Structure formats: C-alpha cells, structure tokens
Amino acid sequence: YTENDFLVNANRKELTDSPLFEYDNVRKPTPTKGLLYPRDSETREVRSLDGMWQLVRSDPYDPLQGIREKWFMDALRKTGREIISMPVPASYNDITTDNLRDHVGTVWYERTFFVPRSWKTMQRTWLRFSSVHYSAVVWINGRNATSHSIGHLPFESEISGLLSFGGDNRITVMCDNRLSNRTIPQGSVYKVATDDGTVPIQSYTFDFFNYAGIHRSVHLYTTPLLHISDLEVTTQLTKEGLGRIDYRVWLDASKEGLQIQPIQLRVQLRDKDGHVAAQQINKAVYHGTLLVPNATPWWPYLMHSDPGYLYNLQFELFVASNEKELESLQDTYRLPVGIRSLSWDNDSLLLNGKPLYLRGFGRHEDSDIRGKGLDNALLARDFNLLKWTGANAYRTSHYPYSEESMQFADQHGIMIIDECPAVNIDIFEPQLLENHMSSLEQLIHRDRNHPSVVAWSVANEPRSNKQGALKYFEFLVNYVREIAHGRPLTAAINANSSSCHLAQFLDIVGFNRYNSWYQNSGRTDMILNLLTIEAQSWRDRFGKPVIQFEYGGDTMEGMHSLPAFIWSEEYQVELFSRHFKAFDELRGRGWFIGEFVWNFADFRTAQTITRVGGNKKGVFTRNRQPKEVAHILRRRYFALAKELDMFGLPEDLTVYISKHIHNEL
C-alpha cells in the first residue's frame, strides 16, 4: 500500500453524494487454504509464542520509516528508539501511561524464541497468528515470512526454511492500525493541526475503540512433511435420530513430502466417553460419510438437558513404511464435531427440526487493560454470565471473535450469529467489495465447522439506504450464498425498511433500533407501538423472519432515579420492560424469531461527549458485574425457556419477598 490509501480527499462534499460504482471488474477472493486450529497430536507439536514481547512505536508522521531502514534485519533495540515491554496477546493501547492509546500508524513487535533441533528433520514448521489488528507484516530472522490484513482473522505461513533449529530465532512484526475507505471496517486518516504540530487522526463511524496489536495467540506448530491441511464437515440429523457427517479432507506436502505415498485415511468418530460411534477407512479418497445410529444431537443451551454435545472426529493418515505392505501413521488431527441439522424458511429458523427463538446479546471482545486481547479468564467468566442470564445466542458484533470463544460456544450450546468486520460501511468502492468478500470468505473458512454458528451476518448498519448499496449487496450476497455452507444469511440494519436496499437479498432480516434513546430520548412510553410497527413493516416488505439485533440505553451503574430518568438503572429496566411487551406481541405473529440486547457489557469507544468513559449500554459493567437490569433480563430469558422449551427455572431466579406473594413470573 501507499500513503495515499490513507489520506482522504479533503473536499467533504464528494463524500455525501458518493458516485455509483461499477463492479464488473471485481475479483472474487482466492479461496483460503489450511488454517486448521493448532492442536497437539501424536504427530504434531504446538508451541505458544505468547508472553512478553518488545514494542517500538513508529513516528506517526513516518509510519514506513522502519521498512526503509530495515528494522527487521536486526534487534529492534538497534533502532535506538524506546523499547516498551508489551504483553501478547493484548491490545497495546491501554498498557502504558502515555498516549500510545491513540497512536495512529505502525508499531513494531519483536521477541526471540528457541526451536528444538528435533523439528528440523521430517517435519514442517508453521507460524500462525490468530489475529493482528489491523494489518501485519512478519519477518523471521530478518527474512520476510508473511503479511496479512483484516485484523480479526488468522493467517499462517510455513517458516521451515527461515528457522535456526536448535538455536535462537527472532520474530519481528510490523502492525499497522490505520483504516481507510477500502479496509474492513472503513475509516479515514486526516492530517490536522494541533498545538504540537500536524498529526494524523484516525476517524471512523463505528462505535467501538479501534484497539490494535497482536490480539490473539501466536503459535509455532509442526506437521509431518505430508499432512492433513484442511477439513470440512457438514452434519445432518434425521427424524429417526440418525446422525450423518459428511467430511472432506485436504492434504498438503512439502517437496520431500511428495515422495510419500498415502495408503489410507482412517476416520473415527468417538463420543464423549471415548467410544467409537462410527468409522470409515478410505483408500485414495479423501471425502466420505459417517452414519451414526442413535446419535446424541448438538442442542442449544436450555433446549436440552445436555446442550452442546460434541463428538471427537479423529482423522488418521497412513502411508507406506519402508517395508512393503506395512503402513505407518503419518498424521493425526482431531476435530470436535456437533451433529445437528439447520434449516430455514420464510417464517422460521429450525435446528434439529425445532423452531428457534434466539435471545441474547450483541457483544464485544473488550476489557480493562487488555482491550481486545484474548483472555481465558474473561472468556470463562463471560460464558458463565451468558448461561446465568439464560441467553442462548449472541452475535459476534462487529467482527469475528476468537477461535477459542467459538469452541466455548460449541461446548456450551450457545448459538452464534457470526458477523464479518464490515461495520457502518458507507462508500461502496469496488476495492471495498473485494475486501468485504474476502473477509467473509476467510470468516466462513475459519468457522464453517462450528455447530454453534447458525447464521452469517454480512454487515452491521451499512448505509443500505444509499443508491449504491443495491448493486453492491446484490453482488456480495450472491457471492456469499455460494460459500455459505448450509447457513442462512442475515445482517443488522438500521436503515428504514422502506429505503433499505440490502434486506431483499437476505434469508433473515435483522434490524437495530434505539427507541427512547437515540430517538425520543426519555420517552419510555414511545417504544411499544413504534417497535411493533417497525418489525411488522420489515415483515410486510420482505416476507422473511425478523430479528431485532440491537436495543438498549446507556446506564451509569449506581445512578438511581425515581421516577426513572435517563442513564439511571431504573430507566434501563423500564426501557427493557417496554421492549419485552413488544417482543411478546411480535412472537405471537410467528415470524419474529429473536431479541438481542445491545450490549452484554460496557465497552470502550472513541472519545465523544455522548460516551461516558465508553459505551455504557451493557447489562454488565466492563468488569463483568451485573446492573439491575441483568436480573430482570435473567427472569425474562428463563421465562422464555420455560415457555418455549419446558426448561425448569433456576432456584435463585426470584427474590423472596413475602409468604403471600406468589413467585410465579
């Protein structure tokens, strides 16, 4: 890229009536290969490079200085710039006490690591990043290893030829947080005059802080020379309880690996107790079908007493050994698999033949100090709170979440509306379309095997009322449908139903609306009718199932007001209660299939007068403690579970008040 990609034409009028673009020359993404989640096995080793790295901040005025001066050729210390200790995974923004928080441009990371001598022979070594935001260039021992943009998705590279085995190695990463018209999500960088001179300012319209850095784990892992490089799994469940798993395997070999002759692929499905439930042996064929009589289905939380049931699908690749006719184990990879069916029509989304009513949250990966960095403790706490609340779903708003959280959702039966990073897109450039399609292709590639993923969200609050949106989204959605892997397509729309050019292409219509907040502030008596009318209008216009993906109001925990006053906990409770009435009215109409609160927890945003330390619409505080409304929401979600799924209520759901007040909900 060049600097010009980040500078915006200062003539702002051109932005308001953006021209109509043609998409005839738009290229579809090259399909992603490989990128299996790193797992130890008899034939593979995984090594984490998480921990303490060193960081150098580039001059915001000269983000490419490090490239020109070849900082990657030697230790970053040699640049003479200040070395900052930086944890990985973490965003870099909130770790220091200076204004690294608002840095725009590049930063450089470095660390050293040892690679065992035993990795040198008969193996390949791979370097895999789960997420670097926004774009990354990577060197090993001063030599280029790989680069990637779209910060929320993984990338990897074979580095066998770059490593010093049995010795010390150095990895260098240049990370660039700048967003432009063509990045996903979009932003722009302006130069503005400040008291300290002209500085670049990153602006964006989305409402979460543009945290940056090495956000998720960095892994080194080994594979055999010939190895299983990718897997695709599709599942079905028949009415008779027969489970069906269709699988496809990709192999990859190094130059030496091409000499190795595969003999057979053994596929074994094991249940939670380790018993073999089905198996198949394939010779020279790398796809197949397993049939599982009396399969234990994967069910969502609260729809079954054993939600999130996962089998373990074991792939073993055998090759000819030195002696003829004998086979030896070449590679083993194990993949958790949940057996479920998913289908939809114009009224419903059905899982294992049963209609779903989705209730949950929009969320963010966000916490104190670490920003968007992966944190197992936070992940475990969040899932415990989701279950405590009785939620059965969330949307990965507004970008792909960590692979570890997808695994957690699989295990716990939490359904996911999986959203790509296209948030608030506005200027529908052909290059943006290419990047948008690529982000969805990479997302679907990464997440297609997760039973918890029940829909793909192709955008959040795009300016879909613009004239240019029609052709853009027609092109995009047609492409995504080709690769959707058995899942419906949705989006979170905030345009009016009468002017939206996107919804017609979707399978499920999702809308965001903040009655008595952004519109009619303070008026909790202006929610019920407006909401039911709007949902009905989406239904009338497009004839699809409808979900409300966002509603809510900012709430300062500890602030109380009687009668309810905006920002108080009382106000949040009242606002939710009015929405509940609307949702129950809408559920009776048959096509309204989900309600999602914005947001699960308070989160950090860019600084504006409307954000008190960040976005405070969370049902939980940023450090994951409940506001009053969490308890109200909990009673609602469990009441819905009882009504819809005959689920028993938790003992501690209601607060004892009096012997004479019945505790029915």
Partner 1 sequence: MHLRIRLTCRKYEIWALSIFSLVTGLYVLHFSIALILVNKEVPQTRGMLYPRESETREVRSLDGIWNFVRSDQANPTQGVRDEWYAKELSKSRPTIPMPVPASYNDITTDNLRDHVGTVWYDRKFFVPRSWSKDQRIWLRFGSVHYEAYVWINGQKVVKHEMGHLPFEAEVTDLLSYGAENRITVMCDNALIQTTVPQGRITEVPNDGGMTIVQSYTFDFFNYAGIHRSVHLYTTPRTFIEEVEVTTNLSKDATVGEVFYSVSVNGSAANEADNVLQIQANLYDKDGILVANATSDQKLGGKLQVNPVKPWWPYLMHSEPGYLYQLEIKLLATNDELLDVYRLKVGIRTLSWNSQQFLINGKPVYFRGFGRHEDSDIRGKGLDNALMVRDFNLLKWIGANAYRTSHYPYSEESMQFADEHGIMIIDECPSVDTENFSQELLGKHKSSLEQLIHRDRNHPSVVMWSIANEPRTGSVSADSYFELVANFTRSLDKTRPITAAIAVSNTQDKAGRSLDIISFNRYNAWYSNAGRLDMITQNVIDEAIAWNKRYNKPIIMSEYGADTLEGLHMQPAYVWSEEFQTEVFSRHFKAFDELRKKGWFIGEFVWNFADFKTAQSYTRVGGNKKGVFTRARQPKAAAHLLRKRYFALGRDLDQCSFPEDLFTYIADLIS
- Contact status: 85 vs partner 1 (CB under 8 A): yes
Residue from 56, 231, 278, 385 in contact with partner 1 (CB under 8 A): 385
Nearer to partner 1, 111 or 182 (CB): 111
Q: How far is the CB of 400 from partner 1 (least distance, A)?
A: 20
Residue from 24, 42, 323, 482 in contact with partner 1 (CB under 8 A): 42
Contact flags string 515-554 toward partner 1, x per CB under 8 A: ----------------------------------------
Instruction: Please give the backbone phi and psi of residue 433, each rounded to the nearest 5 degrees, phi first.
Output: -60, -40
Interface with partner 1 by CB under 8 A: which range of 237-245, 448-456, 598-606, 620-628? 620-628
Check the CA dihedral 201-204-208-210 and report its sign: negative
* Residue list 116-155, contact with partner 1 (CB under 8 A): 116-118
Q: Is 461 a catalytic residue?
A: yes
Residue from 244, 266, 381, 642 in contact with partner 1 (CB under 8 A): 381
Interface with partner 1 by CB under 8 A: which range of 92-100, 173-181, 577-585, 655-663? 92-100
Nearer to partner 1, 55 or 427 (CB): 55
- Contact status: 377 vs partner 1 (CB under 8 A): yes
Cβ atoms of 320 and 263 within 8 Å: the answer is yes
Nearer to partner 1, 31 or 558 (CB): 558
For 96-120, b where at least 16 C-beta lie within 10 A, e where not — what string? eeeebbebbbbbbbbbebebeeebe
* Residue list 319-338, contact with partner 1 (CB under 8 A): none
CA distance 170 to 114: 9
- Contact status: 47 vs partner 1 (CB under 8 A): yes
Residue from 5, 21, 26, 45 in contact with partner 1 (CB under 8 A): 45
- As beta bridge partners, residue 415 has 393
Nearer to partner 1, 325 or 652 (CB): 652
Interface with partner 1 by CB under 8 A: which range of 41-49, 295-303, 337-345, 576-584? 41-49
CA distance 61 to 74: 23
- Contact status: 21 vs partner 1 (CB under 8 A): no
Which one-letter amino acid corresponds to residue 495? Answer: A
Give the DSSP per-residue string, 553-568.
Answer: ----TT---SS--TTS
Written as six digits, the tokens of 345 are 């029509």
Q: How far is the CB of 96 from partner 1 (least distance, A)?
A: 5
CA distance 448 to 153: 14
Which one-letter amino acid corresponds to residue 655? Answer: V
Which one-letter amino acid corresponds to residue 410? Answer: D
Q: How far is the CB of 627 from partner 1 (least distance, A)?
A: 15
- Contact status: 101 vs partner 1 (CB under 8 A): no
CA angle 351, 452, 484 (to 5 degrees): 80
* Residue list 50-69, contact with partner 1 (CB under 8 A): 51-52
Written as six digits, the tokens of 341 are 């069916």
Interface with partner 1 by CB under 8 A: which range of 314-322, 373-381, 511-519, 589-597? 373-381
Terminal Cα-to-Cα distance of the chain (whole angstroms): 59
- Contact status: 379 vs partner 1 (CB under 8 A): yes
Q: How far is the CB of 51 from partner 1 (least distance, A)?
A: 7
- Contact status: 467 vs partner 1 (CB under 8 A): no
Residue from 36, 76, 94, 316 in contact with partner 1 (CB under 8 A): 94
Interface with partner 1 by CB under 8 A: which range of 47-55, 233-241, 442-450, 567-575? 47-55
CA distance 631 to 500: 36
Binding footprint of partner 1, residue count (CB under 8 A)? 50
Cβ atoms of 181 and 166 within 8 Å: the answer is no
CA distance 421 to 404: 18
In Å, how far are 100, 112, 502 from 57, measured between CA atoms?
Answer: 8, 19, 41
Cβ atoms of 66 and 79 within 8 Å: the answer is yes
Nearer to partner 1, 55 or 249 (CB): 55
CA distance 658 to 665: 15
- Contact status: 465 vs partner 1 (CB under 8 A): no
Q: How far is the CB of 597 from partner 1 (least distance, A)?
A: 18
Nearer to partner 1, 61 or 114 (CB): 114
- Contact status: 370 vs partner 1 (CB under 8 A): yes
Nearer to partner 1, 51 or 293 (CB): 51
Find the length of the chain: 665
Cβ atoms of 126 and 220 within 8 Å: the answer is yes
CA distance 181 to 422: 11
- Contact status: 77 vs partner 1 (CB under 8 A): yes
- Contact status: 195 vs partner 1 (CB under 8 A): no
- Contact status: 609 vs partner 1 (CB under 8 A): no
In sequence order, which residues have a C-beta less than 8 Å from that of residue 280 and are 6 or more positions away? Answer: 266, 267, 288, 289, 290
Residue from 34, 60, 87, 545 in contact with partner 1 (CB under 8 A): 87
Residue from 167, 241, 353, 590 in contact with partner 1 (CB under 8 A): 167
- Contact status: 161 vs partner 1 (CB under 8 A): no
What Rg do the C-alpha atoms of the chain give, in angstroms?
A: 26
Q: 477 in helix, strand or coil?
A: helix
Give the DSSP per-residue string, 494-549.
Answer: -S-TTT-SSGGG-SSEEEE--BTTTBSTT-TTSSHHHHHHHHHHHHHHH-S-EEEE
Is residue 462 exposed (0-12), middle (13-18) or buried (19+ Cβ within 10 Å)?
A: buried
Written as six digits, the tokens of 202 are 């990153």
Catalytic residue from among 156, 316, 403, 461: 461
Interface with partner 1 by CB under 8 A: which range of 256-264, 371-379, 453-461, 603-611? 371-379
Cβ atoms of 347 and 545 within 8 Å: the answer is yes
Contact flags string 391-430 toward partner 1, x per CB under 8 A: -------------x---x--x-------------------
Nearer to partner 1, 51 or 590 (CB): 51
* Residue list 622-651, contact with partner 1 (CB under 8 A): 622-624
Q: Which helix (H) or strand (E) holds 191?
A: strand 188-194
Please state, as a whole number, how many other Cβ atoms lie within 10 Å of the Cβ of residue 10. 8
Cβ atoms of 192 and 121 within 8 Å: the answer is no
- Give the largest CA-CA distance in the chain: 85
**Residue ranges in contact with partner 1 by CB under 8 A:** 40-42, 44-45, 47-48, 51-52, 77, 85-88, 90, 94-97, 113-114, 116-118, 166-167, 272-273, 368-370, 373, 375-381, 383-385, 387-388, 404, 408, 411, 622-624
Residues noted as catalytic: 461
